[in-house]
Amino acid sequence: QQQVKQSPQSLIVQKGGISIINCAYENTAFDYFPWYQQFPGKGPALLIAIRPDVSEKKEGRFTISFNKSAKQFSLHIMDSQPGDSATYFCAAGRYGQNFVFGPGTRLSVLP
């Protein structure tokens, strides 16, 4: 019940395109779903997060869509830029406690 599944493993998008990464969780007690961006040699940095009381959250070019009944959530990156090339991790957990991370998606945005 602790696993978080993430797909795709890797993603190649043209500049200006939309990047979509999907995640699924199992533990219905989870109430906090952050997305992290990680560049090589750096720690993960919080990108955007959502609580299950809303179905969508948007911050700039980044949007989280959340489907509580399906236990799925996704990250959409609009107008993808080469600077967005990084590894993206979804995570899930109880707010204020530790997270279970997905295996990551390596995004490459071609110029």
Partner 1 sequence: ETGVTQSPTHLIKTRGQQVTLRCSSQSGHNTVSWYQQALGQGPQFIFQYYREEENGRGNFPPRFSGLQFPNYSSELNVNALELDDSALYLCASSLTGGIGYTFGSGTRLTVV
Residues in the site for partner 1, rule: CB under 8 A?
A: 4, 6, 32, 34, 36, 41-46, 89, 91, 95-104
Give the angle 11-88-17 at the CA atoms, nearest 5°: 45
CB closer to partner 1 out of 42 and 69: 42
Instruction: CB nearer to partner 1: give 77 or 104.
Output: 104
Nearest to 33 by CA among 60, 7, 57, 61: 57
CB of 12 to partner 1, least distance (A): 17
Q: Which two tokens stand for residue 92?
A: 């899930």
In 3D, which of 90, 81, 89 has the Cα closest to residue 108? 81
In whole angstroms, the minimum distance from the beta carbon of 103 to partner 1 comes to 5
